[in-house]
């Protein structure tokens, strides 16, 4: 973005435009999504004792709570850092 005037803070759309053009950002997002999918598949299909048992996702209430907590943590830590 270069040097900015102290009174000029970049707008949200300016920040998004810079982030979307960054190859590193796009690569990290793609690799992260692939790794999450691989971990989920590993947890479901391995015979070892999984970290999070897939049976927890079979009841709608527990699955909804786990997914809700995941998104809450995602937003919280994104805002915190």
Q: Which residues contact 53 (CB under 8 A, 6 or more apart)?
A: none
pTM here? 0.47
Please report the pLDDT score of residue 68 as a whole number.
Answer: 93
Please report the pLDDT score of residue 55 as a whole number.
Answer: 78
Provide the residue ranges of all domains of the chain, joining segments of one domain with +: 9-50, 53-81
Please report the pLDDT score of residue 71 as a whole number.
Answer: 92
In a structure prediction context, what are the per-residue pLDDT tens digits for the chain, which is 81 residues long?
Answer: 455 555 566 676 766 676 667 788 788 888 999 998 998 888 788 777 777 777 777 788 888 888 899 999 989 988 887
Q: Which two three-digit tokens encode residue 22?
A: 């960054």
Q: Which two three-digit tokens encode residue 73?
A: 């943590």
Q: What share of the chain is helix, strand, coil (3-state, %, to 5)?
A: 70, 0, 30
């Amino acid at each position: 973005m270069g040097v900015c005037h102290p009174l000029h803070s970049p707008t949200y759309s300016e920040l998004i435009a810079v982030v979307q053009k960054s190859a590193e950002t796009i690569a990290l997002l793609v690799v992260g999504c692939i790794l999450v999918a691989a971990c989920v598949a590993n947890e479901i299909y391995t015979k070892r004792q999984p970290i999070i048992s897939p049976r927890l996702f079979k009841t709608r209430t527990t699955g909804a709570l786990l997914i809700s907590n995941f998104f809450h943590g995602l937003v919280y830590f994104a805002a915190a850092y």
